[in-house]
Amino acid sequence: MNSIAVVGSINLDIVIRVPRIPQVGETIHHGTIAHHPGGKGANQAVAASLAGAEVSMIGSVGMDTAGSELLASLKAHNVDTRYVSRITSTHTGTAVITVDTNGSNSIALAEGANAAIEPGNVADAVAQLAPQAILCQREIPDSVIATAFSRRNSAALHVLNVSPVEQISNIAMDDIDLLVVNQIEAKQLIGTQAGAMDAATTLAQRTRRGCIVTLGAKGLVAQIDGHKIKQPAYSVKVVDTTGAGDAFCGAFVTELLETQNPEHALRFGQAAGAVAVTRHGAQPSMPDSPTIRALMQTA
Ligand code: RIB
């Protein structure tokens, strides 16, 4: 089994399903509520574990009930939680998510413990684990990501999902093997409007191996190891898009380690994301490997 360390956020998701997402100053009635384990890091860790990797989570939660429940969910998905610290100074990360009847969402996040991850602990964890891949997202401080990706700590494949997007300030781009962005994130990173493939090419040149630009219902484009790749999306019935990007990232990295075939691994990641949007919630929607492969065979 290939080993992946996910360095990232762990959140409690409070999800309210509403007829449509409220605008500023507006209240929308007739919602239903659910609480789910979430956080881009934890979701990607679960996705990778279900896809077949040996996964360790590196992060931080509070000493509250939510922290205990989120750790239990990770353990239930066979994710190693030895490197998740529990801190008393703040609460567990919490996201308030509204989802409309089209499955679109808006997310407000209180980072809490995710913002208090100690870079020193991350460096120690990465050194002890020596994983084959390190997967990060942007719900934790850039200084933590920079530590995780430092070539001094590991020779692993370094994958950064630039979500949510903000300019990357303290992370050396040449410490990153692969970037995963959506089209909006790509535009913000480049600073100008560019076609998706041009954006993938431009961003790929800043990394060691490449860049993937996901396009939702339009599929994805990528440039990896100098090869341009363009793939359509799977056609499925969407109920909730929350966590689809996380399903993609966790499954893609897992299959890339397994096959060393970027084009196939991207297809596998896309199928994982496609299954995820047919299910409610983020972490509860992550599919296992047989389900992903079943969709790949029917499409
Ligand atoms: O990508 C989905 C995730 O974003 C949710 O689980 C929520 O916690 C936010 O971090």
At residue 154 the predicted structure's pLDDT band, cuts being 50, 70 and 90, is low
**H or E stretch including 267?**
helix 262-277
Distance of CA 95 to the CA centre of its chain: 15
Query: Given this model, what pLDDT does residue 146 score?
Result: 93
- Regarding the beta carbon of 281 and ligand 1, being less than 6 Å apart is answered no
CA angle 258, 214, 299 (to 5 degrees): 65
Report the alpha-carbon distance of residue 174 to residue 206 in Å, rounded: 7
Mean pLDDT for the stretch of residues 91-108: 95
Query: Given this model, what pLDDT does residue 171 score?
Result: 79
What does the pLDDT look like over 265-284, one tens digit per residue?
999 999 999 999 999 999 99
Question: 5: closest CA among 101, 84, 88?
Answer: 84
**Crossing angle of the two packed helices 244-259 and 40-51, in degrees rounded to 10:** 40
Share of the chain above pLDDT 90, in %: 87
Cα(178) to ligand 1 centroid in Å equals 21
Please provide the average confidence, as pLDDT, over all residues in the chain. Answer: 94
Q: In the predicted model, is pLDDT for residue 151 greater than 80?
A: no
Predicted structure pTM score: 0.96
CA distances from 175 to 128, 160, 189, 227 (A): 19, 10, 17, 20
Phi (first) and psi of residue 151, to 5 degrees: -60, -15
Cα(282) to ligand 1 centroid in Å equals 7
User: What residues make up the domain containing 166?
Assistant: 3-298
- Regarding the beta carbon of 190 and ligand 1, being less than 6 Å apart is answered no
At residue 8 the predicted structure's pLDDT band, cuts being 50, 70 and 90, is very high
Report the alpha-carbon distance of residue 137 to residue 158 in Å, rounded: 11
Instruction: Read off the CATH number of the domain in which 213 is found.
Output: 3.40.1190.20
At residue 234 the predicted structure's pLDDT band, cuts being 50, 70 and 90, is very high
At residue 153 the predicted structure's pLDDT band, cuts being 50, 70 and 90, is low
At residue 26 the predicted structure's pLDDT band, cuts being 50, 70 and 90, is very high
Q: In the predicted model, is pLDDT for residue 94 greater than 80?
A: yes
Reduce the DSSP state of residue 28 to 3 states and report it: coil
Report the alpha-carbon distance of residue 45 to residue 56 in Å, rounded: 7
Query: Given this model, what pLDDT does residue 32 score?
Result: 95
Q: How many separate domains does the chain show? A: 1
Report which ligand 1 atom has the smallest distance to the Cα of 42.
6
- Regarding the beta carbon of 139 and ligand 1, being less than 6 Å apart is answered yes
Q: In the predicted model, is pLDDT for residue 130 greater than 90?
A: yes
At residue 152 the predicted structure's pLDDT band, cuts being 50, 70 and 90, is low
Report which ligand 1 atom has the smallest distance to the Cα of 37.
6
Neighbouring C-beta atoms of residue 168, cutoff 10 Å: 18
What does the pLDDT look like over 39-85, one tens digit per residue?
999 999 999 999 999 999 999 999 999 999 999 999 999 999 999 99
Query: Given this model, what pLDDT does residue 84 score?
Result: 98
For the ranges 79-93, 166-180, 248-262, the lowest mean pLDDT is seen at 166-180
**Crossing angle of the two packed helices 262-277 and 244-259, in degrees rounded to 10:** 150
Cα(97) to ligand 1 centroid in Å equals 8
184: tokens are 């909006």
Q: In the predicted model, is pLDDT for residue 11 greater than 80?
A: yes
Residue-wise DSSP of 181-211: EEHHHHHHHHSS---HHHHHHHHHHHSSSEE
Question: Is 124 among the residues known to form the active site?
Answer: no
Report which ligand 1 atom has the smallest distance to the Cα of 9.
10
What does the pLDDT look like over 173-204, one tens digit per residue?
889 999 999 988 898 888 877 789 999 999 99
- Regarding the beta carbon of 11 and ligand 1, being less than 6 Å apart is answered yes
Residue-wise DSSP of 216-242: GGG-EEEEETTEEEEEPPP----S--T
- Regarding the beta carbon of 109 and ligand 1, being less than 6 Å apart is answered yes
User: Which is more confident, 185 or 112?
Assistant: 112
